[in-house]
Structures are given as C-alpha cells and as structure tokens.
Structure 1
Amino acid sequence: MKLNFVTGNKYKVMEAKAILGKHGIEVVQVKLEKEEPKEFDLKKVAEMNALFFSKKLGEPVMVEDTGLFFHEYKNFPGNHPKLMYETLGYKGLLKLMDGVKDRRAEFRTVVAWCDGKKVKSFVGSVLGEVTNKIHGEKDDVMPYERIIKIDGEPVTYMSREKKNRISHRAKAFMQLGEYLCK
C-alpha cells in the first residue's frame, strides 16, 4: 500500500517510513504548503488538512500536526512550537524556562488519514522535561530534540531506533499502521 504524507519535514518522513514500513506501507513525501490556521486544536487542524489534501490529490493522504505543551505555561505554545522556536531560538526558549520549577513538557501529535471521504485521526504523546542547556548543537536533529530530555536522557543523543519506539509521532504512526492493516 502506498500512502502520501504531506509534509516538508525530512525527519518526519524518515520516522513515518521506519514505523509504517513495518506494516508494509510505502510512505511517499508530498511537499505541498499546509494551512497553518490560528486554531489551537491539533485534531481539527490535522483533520482539516487531511481532507483538503486528499481531495486535492484524489488519493489517500496523511498529515500530522504536533504541539508542545509546557506545563508551567498552561500548555503554551500548543500547536505553534515551530513559530516559537523560529522567534525565540534556543537561547530565548531556555531563558523562558530560567528559574521555572515545573520544567515538564509534553509533545503531542495527531496524525490524520483521509481517503477522500472519511477522516480518521490517531494521537500519540510523550512527556519530557526541558533541559538547562542546549545538547548536540552539531547533530542533525529536529530543533526541540536539543533541549528536551525523556527519562533523563537528552533526545538528541538517543538512537533513531529508540526515538522511533518512544516518540509522540511514532506512537500515532503505529496506531495508523494498525488501523490500515485491519
């Protein structure tokens, strides 16, 4: 089975291929500009984009929307972590967390699949903690992996295999794979 994945992010594609490939699903990256509405509901955003792109391409697609929720800041920045990172950078993010006691941060991903008619969504999450410093600045990883640790280990130092077992996105992809293989 072939499945179009609408994203411009190579890391997300690598993760999807690793997870969904185990289910015999071939992931094909489709680089189209996704709508990034001001909506704060990950599920609504993912489902809206899945329906739109499935109709546009005339084929089944999946899209994902990921949020980062800092417990100290009432779940801010929510589904706008990219904007926050691009605006503040690592130094600004760490400054925001300076002196904060509750450094917990939850990554939550919604993967939405649509065949042109029905939309199905799958949610994965992982709880981590914001580190006090930037790790692995030279490593080729997703931005937040440098300042988040899970079970005490900075994500940037985890093997790809370990990330693909525990990540929020992997959990959602696993659910999608199981659904499509029924």
Structure 2
Amino acid sequence: MKITLCFATNNAHKLEEIQAIWGDSFNLLSLKDINCNEELPETGNTLEANSLQKAQYLYDHYQVNCFADDSGLEVNALNREPGVYSARYAGEQRSHADNMNLLLKNLVGKSDRSAQFRTVITLIQDGKISQFEGAIEGQIIEEQRGTDGFGYDPIFMPEGFDRTFAEMSLEEKGKISHRAKAFEKLMNFLK
C-alpha cells in the first residue's frame, strides 16, 4: 500500500518537481487536495524553523501526515543572504525578477560569487518529527540565462556545470538540486 502524504505547498513548480522525482512511489496530496486555502505560517528566522512551523500547522489543523520544506539561496559574499528571506528578498510582492535584480546589484564589485541552495524538509508522520537537509554549491553568474525553473534558477550555476538551473530540464535539475537531495533522504527514510 502506498504511503499518502500532504506536501505543504501551493507552489505548482515545487509540486511538479517533487512528483517528477518520486514518480508514483507515494500518493502525494497538495494543500488544495485537503481544502487548505490559508497561507501557512512562515515567521521563523531559519529554514529549519519555517519548515517545522508549516508542517506542524498542517498536522495540527488538518490531522494529516505531511511534510513541508523551506529553501533558500545563501550567497557567501552577502553573509549567506538572502537565505530564509529568499522569496521576499526584494519585498513582500515575492517577485522572482525583483529578487534576482537586487541580488545581482548587491554583488556588483564582489569577486566571490560562490553560493549554495539549501533545502530543509520537515516530515510529521503520526506525530513523529524528522528533518532532512539537501544543499548544492555553485556560483551566481552576472546575467540571467535560461527560461525554465523559477526563483533564482536563471542566475545560479551549479558546481561542475556550464549551465544554470534555468537552462536545465526539470529532469536534469531534479537529479542534482538541493531539493532533490533532501527529498531523496526523505524518500529513503520512508522506505
């Protein structure tokens, strides 16, 4: 019998990415599938705290086994910013273009363009909490390249590649991304 889990997100890109990684190994529910229409709380100041807060809210209010993730881009020359504030880096409007433009502006004149994407997943299954982390190192390039992906994908080039995340197919990115690494740990745990 397949395990059923609710993924605490309304982000269609994330759902598509995870479904591609997992295939039909698990029965994956979205927030929409359980009639959760409210914004999940994200007031923590770390990826770990936000991930836990979202999963706990879902488990407490909907009594469903679930997992939540929080991801961030951590740029070394900017003291690991934007980090937990990656989605709102340029303001509450959560504009991918504004976020990328602000990041590129803040990196002008900086020689160290190293960065990492990091994801933390919190699983709550029958009240038991587990966390999993995945990260991928790379560089922030100087101009946007590619049209696939979302967020900072057009300016993030993973280590060992000559293409940005936005220049890779969903399948390619799904094999190497921070999210893929964290979800692989989650999947191995569930098996």
Give TM-score scaled by structure 1 length: 0.90
Partner of 2:123: 113
Which amino acid is the alignment partner of residue 18 of structure 1? Answer: A
Q: Specify whether residues 18 and 117 from structure 1 end up closer, same or farther in structure 2 by C-alpha distance, changes over 3 A only.
A: same
The aligned length equals 177
Which blocks of at least 5 consecutive residues in structure 1 are unaligned? none
SS of corresponding position for 2:23: helix
Q: Using the TM superposition, give the Cα deviation of residue 56 of structure 1 relative to its aligned residue in structure 2, in angstroms.
A: 1.1
Give me the CA root mean square deviation: 1.6
Which amino acid is the alignment partner of residue 70 of structure 1? Answer: V
Distance 1:72 1:180 in 2: 37
Contact 2:42 2:53 in 1 (8 A): no
Partner of 1:57: 62
1:29-68 matches, within 5 Å, as 29-31=30-32, 32-37=38-43, 39-68=44-73
Partner of 2:182: 172
Q: Using the TM superposition, give the Cα deviation of residue 76 of structure 1 relative to its aligned residue in structure 2, in angstroms.
A: 1.2
Partner of 1:27: 28
1:70-149 matches, within 5 Å, as 70-85=75-90, 86=94, 88-136=98-146, 139-149=147-157
Contact 2:51 2:122 in 1 (8 A): yes
SS of corresponding position for 2:139: strand
Q: Percent identity?
A: 29
Contact 1:7 1:29 in 2 (8 A): yes
Give CA-to-partner distance per residue, 1:47-80, whole Å, 9 cap, x none.
Answer: 2221221121111011101121110011111111
Give CA-to-partner distance per residue, 1:145-170, whole Å, 9 cap, x none.
Answer: 11111133211111211111100001
Give TM-score scaled by structure 2 length: 0.86
Single out whichever of 53-62 and 81-90 deviates more from structure 2.
81-90
Contact 1:50 1:119 in 2 (8 A): no
Distance 2:133 2:88 in 1: 22
SS of corresponding position for 1:128: strand
Larger RCO, structures 1/2 (Cα 8 Å, 6+ apart): 1
Which blocks of at least 5 consecutive residues in structure 2 are unaligned? 33-37
Single out whichever of 84-93 and 159-168 deviates more from structure 2.
84-93
